[in-house]
Amino acid sequence: MTWDCVWFGSYPQAEVVSSADSYTAVDKSLLKSGDIIENSSLYNKLQSVTGWDANNDITVDGNKYRRMKKSDATYTSNSYSNYYNWPDSDTWYYFKYEPIKWRVLKMDGSQAFLLSDIALDDQQYNTEEDITWETSTIRSWLNGYGASSNKQGNDYSSKNLIGSAFSGDERSAIVNTSVVNDDNINYGTEGGNNTTDKIFLLSELEVYGDSAAPYGFMFSNRTYDGGGADVKAAHMQRRWEYGAIRTMRIIVTTGGCARRDTMRMTPRMSVSTAGSAMVVIMSTITMTVCVLL
């Protein structure tokens, strides 16, 4: 399947390094073209420049960058080759904001339904307790909601995705979408209350079956869908490296596991509604928005 694509907003993606030859943070076999920017002069400038804001962002020579340390990662491990290799806890690492590429799933007049082409970040879906999309922390983080919008009471009004990825004018172009949280197709598990959001994750009905087919996804929930496979931005690899799982709106139970009767997606975008539970402490952020073009 080939999608029409647009570029809208920006987010930290490629990592700025002083030397590609000495770069060991990610196994060379996992790197793709554009993951790193080899520029020793720029790297040194980012190390010495002052004025980083509360989000650890700064604009240098007209380009925006984000820095992060090991403590900023969602999860770290030195036990696996496909995790980011953090040599210490004190070094800053630098990432350039680059345009976000979106797949156009649907056009309705001047309104486009967009899916980010790659996994841009990795965050907790929620902590270990029963949850639906409505009161999850991931919904609040994506949209910049305050403490009253999620069960954990976390305030994401200052540090969030929507504020980092989109300018004020761009946020105005993103449509408030009525997000229908249907019950699970096979088991009837309650999906929770419907919501109204600018940014959201795909639902079960949007990735397989009659409703998903127009978006370019497979009809069957048992079919490998190569079009859904996630490619990770370098910045997302920093967050958490153990495979790109395209997380959707789901129900999470105590212990941080998805209900056996909710839907999950494997790293290769094979859709499964079978019985085994899946730990959903981490969420790979492949988001959807509706935008007025």
26 vs 14: CA distance, rounded Å: 13
Q: Would you say the C-alpha torsion 275, 227, 267, 280 has a positive or negative sign?
A: negative
Q: What is the pLDDT of residue 249?
A: 57
For residue range 263-274, what is the model confidence (pLDDT) as tens digits?
Answer: 333 222 223 333
| Strand 36-38, strand 111-116: pairing | unpaired
Average pLDDT, the chain: 79
Q: State percent of the chain over pLDDT 90.
A: 45
What mean pLDDT do residues 237-264 have? 43
245 pLDDT exceeds 60?
no
What mean pLDDT do residues 272-293 have? 53
Here the contacts of 206-214 (C-beta below 8 Å, separation 24 or greater) are: 206/248, 206/288, 207/248, 207/265, 207/271, 208/271, 209/185, 214/105, 214/106
Picking from 59, 55, 62, 64, the residue whose alpha carbon sits closest to that of residue 11 is 64
287 compared with 59, residue with greater pLDDT: 59
252 pLDDT exceeds 70?
no
Kindly state the tokens that stand for 224.
């490998």
Kindly state the tokens that stand for 216.
């370019």
Q: What is the pLDDT of residue 95?
A: 96
Q: Which residues contact 127 (CB under 8 A, 6 or more apart)?
A: 137, 152, 256, 281
For residue range 16-67, what is the model confidence (pLDDT) as tens digits?
Answer: 999 999 998 888 888 889 999 999 999 999 999 999 999 999 999 999 999 9
Q: What is the pLDDT of residue 20?
A: 95
129 pLDDT exceeds 90?
no
Neighbours of 259 (CB within 10 A): 19
Q: What is the pLDDT of residue 210?
A: 76
Question: What does the domain layout of the chain look like in residue ranges?
Answer: 5-99, 102-292
Q: State percent of the chain over pLDDT 70.
A: 75
